[in-house]
Amino acid sequence: MHWATILIIAGLCGTSLGQYNEEEDLAWLQYYMRQSRMSSYNYMPYYEDENTPYVYSYLPAPDTEPEPGPEPQQAPSWQCPQECDCPPNFSSAMYCDTRNLRYLPFVPSRMKYVYFQNNRITAIQEGAFDNATELEWLALHNNQISSEKMGKKVFAKLKRLERLYMNNNNLTKVPSPLPRTLRELHLSYNQISKVPSNALEGLENLTALYLSHNFIFEMGASLKGLKSLILADLSYNHLRKVPDGLPMALEQLYLEYNYINTIPDNYFKVSPKLLYVRMSHNSLTNQGLSTNTFNSSSILELDLSYNRLQKIPRVSTNLENLYLQGNQINEFSISSFCSVVDVMNYSRLQVLRLDGNEIKRNAVPPDAPLCLRRATIIEI
């Protein structure tokens, strides 16, 4: 059995791309990607030693601040606001990004994809999108929008909206109500402190929720009714307990950099499709976990690094990557991986990190090679 000691840190990365069935939709996307001001949308969670995935093309504002623009005048639906760019060959897209705007221009009714990111917009007036009921993508990230300066029903008439980008603003609460058609909601890097249980009510089509880098201390049962949710990123917040109830469809859960110290029994088993769980940099102890908290057969990657664990928690034999570095673990318990050790029973674990604990190298039990026969990396 070959035991490698090379440290490999496995990370997830992904890109959220929509599916386009119409030639027009593909055309505007190709056009936009060719522009020098294109923003890179890569919202997958990351580890502390990686660069932030929130990368935007940002042109610095000139030294002299322009005077606030006039209230936008409604124009015929075929026209384009003078502040923006509406390519004639891709008539359903409007680009108003990185133009030092302080207000929202009028949005013609034909628009499906509108980009207002990287501006200085502070408010969204009531009725701002009432004319643009065909909108599917709305990018408002990297502005200065505050919850107090948003109309109460600014998104109410957007019955086809699928993606809403409002990360990197000054929001103190989740916008509500939101269209039921929404599939992705990006609210990271705001000032949200609480998500009431009804804040996401009715969003049964939502597949991805990004709420990282806020000040959230309470989630309640806000995730429970999200029947289609696949990815929930709640990292870098102030949570002291896990959200009440997880959706059945959930596959990726990111809770790193919070203050969570306990997890209810069978918490993860309500999500039979759950693959990736990251809970590094919390306050987890063995006393706050039940025996089989993480013994879920669906989980493939589990990150519990930089907590306060003293023992290796019991995990499923299907687990492939386990990160436990930076804890207080003082023993190598083979029963955490294999309840029975023989030729037919073994763990599928490939990567095990135990560095930065109190385990000594000679503490590895003799039957470890038999139980962990698939492991290529064990770092102690």
Rounded Cα–Cα distance for residues 235 and 214 (Å): 9
* pLDDT < 50 regions, the chain: 1-77
Reported as a single tens digit per residue, the pLDDT across 159-184 is 999 999 999 999 999 999 999 999 99
Q: Please give the share of the chain, as a percent, with pLDDT higher than 90.
A: 74
Cβ(94)–Cβ(84) below 8 Å: yes
Candidates 227, 273, 272, 221; CA nearest to 242 is 221
Integer CA distances (angstroms), 118 to 37, 151, 199, in order: 10, 21, 26
E-strand ranges in the chain read 40-41, 54-55, 93-95, 113-115, 137-139, 163-165, 184-186, 208-210, 231-233, 252-254, 276-278, 301-303, 321-323, 351-353, 377-379
* Nearest of 161, 149, 165, 72 to residue 117 by alpha carbon: 165
Q: Mapping DSSP to helix (H, G, I), strand (E, B) and coil, where does residue 377 land?
A: strand
**pLDDT on residue 78:** 59
Task: Look at residue 362 in the predicted model and tell me its pLDDT.
Answer: 83
- What string of DSSP letters covers 168-226? SSB-SS--SS--TT--EEE--SS---B--TTTTTT-TT--EEE--SS---B-TTTTTT-
Q: What is the pLDDT of residue 363?
A: 85
159 φ/ψ angles, rounded to the nearest 5 degrees:
-80, -5
Per DSSP, helices labelled H in 43-112 are: none
308: which DSSP letter?
A: -
Question: pLDDT tens-digit profile of 17-75?
Answer: 333 344 444 444 444 444 433 333 333 433 333 333 333 233 333 333 444 444 444 44
3-state secondary structure of 65: coil
Distance CA 320, CA 374 (A): 9
* 217-221-227-231 Cα dihedral, nearest 10 degrees: 20
Task: Output the pTM of the full model.
Answer: 0.80
* CA distance linking residue 97 with residue 59, whole number of Å: 10
Q: Are strands 137-139 and 113-115 parallel, antiparallel or unpaired?
A: parallel
Residue type at position 32: Y
Cβ neighbors of 368 (< 8 A, separation 6 or more) are 332, 334
What is the pLDDT at residue 219?
94
Q: Nearest 5°: CA angle at 121, between 17 and 204?
A: 40
